[in-house]
């Protein structure tokens, strides 16, 4: 999809395939992720977060749009369907990209 940085596209591909190391390769060493009102700092905590997300539910992700918010910040709109509570959700995931890697992801 146009307007999405290459590293964000790689993140979604790696997340869909379940490749934890490939997901981690998209982040800076000191990256921050906020998901379900919890914070994860650095690659070790992000690895734990992804391993939990990947094993807790099965779901598909469809990118439905993207917006640029300032320098290096991209909001990606996604539609998820799966076996999580409710089964369907639309999210706006905010990525901050620095030097070609994700430095922050807010879900």
Residues 29-40 pLDDT 10s: 999 999 989 999
Residues 49-89 pLDDT 10s: 998 876 788 889 999 999 998 888 999 999 999 998 999 99
Instruction: For residue 1, tell me if it sits in a domain.
Output: no
Q: What is the 3-state secondary structure (H, E, C) of the chain?
A: CCCCCHHHHHHHHHHHHCCHHHHHCCEEEEEEEEECCEEEEHHHHHHHHHHHHHHHCCEEEEEEEEEECCCCEEEEEEEEEECCCCCEEEEEEEEEEECCEEEEEEC
Query: Whole-model pTM?
Result: 0.90
Q: CATH code at 48? A: 3.10.450.50
- In which domain, by residue range, is 15 found? 6-106
The count of structural domains within the chain is 1
Instruction: For residue 56, tell me if it sits in a domain.
Output: yes
């Amino acid at each position: 999809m146009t307007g999405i940085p290459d590293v964000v596209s790689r993140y979604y591909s790696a997340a869909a395939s379940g490749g934890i190391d490939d997901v981690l390769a998209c982040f800076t060493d000191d990256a921050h992720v906020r998901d379900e009102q919890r914070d994860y700092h650095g690659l070790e905590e992000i690895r734990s977060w992804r391993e939990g997300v990947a094993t807790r539910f099965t779901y598909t992700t469809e990118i439905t749009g993207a917006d640029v918010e300032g320098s290096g910040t991209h909001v990606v709109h996604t539609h998820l369907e799966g076996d999580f509570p409710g089964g369907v959700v639309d999210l706006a995931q905010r990525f901050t990209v620095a030097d070609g890697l994700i430095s922050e992801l807010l879900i």
